């Protein structure tokens, strides 16, 4: 996920716990107000808590596999739709075919490398 303007849409707070540290690269970074990427020291067992709408990224992994437990706290009623729904209440008519169409129209996000 090397996209500097990624955020966790719909949720309020995100919790990340790093489960492994036997990899190279994969630094967790946030986009700051001065448009600089701030790399955060994030070791096995560490917990990072941030407001979900803050832009963040994980830099490219050059060796091994990074494993992280991620928990997001949401507001509103439980959603059963197959996407990151932004509706907090009411029915959602988003379908799996909509997800397929999105992937065909925009397979990559701007800034992905």
Least confident of 14-18, 19-23, 73-77: 73-77
Both tokens of 22, joined, read 């036997």
Question: Whole-model pTM above 0.85?
Answer: no
d(CA 13, CA 78): 16
Torsion from C-alpha of 39, 18, 9, 112, nearest 10 degrees: 60
Q: Name the segment(s) of the chain with CATH classification 2.60.120.
A: 1-74
Contact assessment for residue 96 and residue 63, using Cβ atoms and an 8 Å cutoff: no
**What kind of fold does domain 1-74 have according to CATH?**
Jelly Rolls (2.60.120)
- Give 83-109 pLDDT, tens digit per residue: 777 777 777 777 655 555 555 555 444
């Amino acid at each position: 996920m090397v996209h500097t303007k990624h955020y966790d849409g719909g949720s309020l707070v995100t919790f990340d716990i790093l489960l492994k540290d036997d990899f190279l690269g994969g630094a967790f970074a946030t986009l700051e107000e001065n448009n600089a990427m701030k790399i955060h020291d994030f070791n096995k067992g560490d917990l990072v808590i941030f407001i979900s709408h803050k832009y963040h990224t994980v830099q490219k992994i050059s060796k091994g596999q990074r494993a992280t437990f991620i928990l997001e706290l949401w507001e509103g009623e439980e959603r059963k739709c197959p996407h990151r729904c932004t509706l907090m209440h009411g029915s959602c008519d988003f379908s799996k075919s909509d997800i397929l169409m999105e992937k065909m129209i925009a397979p990559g996000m701007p800034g992905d490398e």
